[in-house]
Amino acid sequence: MATWNSRGLRGSTLEELINRTNDIYREKGLALIQKVPTPITPIKIDKDNRHITLAYFEQKSTVDYIGAIQGIPVCFDAKECTTQTFPLQNVHAHQMQFMEEFEHQGGIAFLLLFYTSENFFYYLTFRQLQKFWSRAENGGRKSFRMEELEQGFEIHPGKGVMVPYLDALQKDLDQRDEDLDQRD
């Protein structure tokens, strides 16, 4: 049984930035993205502060966010990394399966990464994540380095939002169109 404690707050800074970004996108009519709550059952509660200090997850979570951007279904997970190497153990097999099934239904899946030591945001396409995942499954590295990331998917705060991921999403869509054109 998985449990939650203070470690569960590791991504709260990134999630807060994404939540604010999503609020602005919604207000501008650009996107409707919602944070997916992870159902938990509290075990211990600090009665003085009314905070849950220990709980267990009722079920496995899928991704952190789901919604639509200009009519395109999207789902993504937000991950923070304190070094220049991202351990793939931070992505779970059931999340990979969900994102793959989501993509097979015509949606777009991706990760938003925040390298805290570099103050660097990155949009990791599901295609690139699959390559890293396959490499690990085939006995290769169980992580990937910043220098392995595909150029052009960096996210720079601006345009009135902290994590403006729509430009990177557009690049992802453009690459998918190019791949389809090359197959024809």
CATH number at residue 89: 3.40.1350.10
Q: Is residue 4 part of a domain?
A: no
Q: Is residue 48 part of a domain?
A: no
Distance from C-alpha of 174 to C-alpha of 100, rounded to nearest angstrom: 19
pLDDT digits (tens, 9 = 90+) for 80-117: 999 999 999 999 999 999 999 999 999 999 999 999 99
Do the annotations mark residue 130 as ligand-binding? Answer: no
Do the annotations mark residue 116 as ligand-binding? Answer: no
Q: What's the mean pLDDT in 152-178? A: 93
Distance from C-alpha of 51 to C-alpha of 54, rounded to nearest angstrom: 9
- The structure's pTM equals 0.83
Q: Is residue 165 part of a domain?
A: yes
Q: Find the domain containing 150 and state its range.
A: 30-37+62-183
pLDDT digits (tens, 9 = 90+) for 34-80: 998 776 666 677 778 777 777 655 556 689 999 999 999 999 999 99
Handedness of CA 98, 101, 105, 107 (dihedral sign): positive
SS3 content of the chain, % helix, strand, coil (to 5): 35, 35, 30
**What is the H or E stretch that residue 95 is in?**
helix 93-104
Do the annotations mark residue 46 as ligand-binding? Answer: no
97 in Cβ contact with 104 (< 8 Å): no
**Angle of CA points 11, 13, 15, to nearest 5°:** 65
Task: Count up the domains in the chain and report the number.
Answer: 1
pLDDT of 166 over the 60 cut? yes
Distance from C-alpha of 80 to C-alpha of 117, rounded to nearest angstrom: 10
Q: What's the mean pLDDT in 23-42? A: 88
The residue behind tokens 């009722």 is 58
Q: Is residue 90 part of a domain?
A: yes
Q: Is residue 108 part of a domain?
A: yes
Do the annotations mark residue 21 as ligand-binding? Answer: no
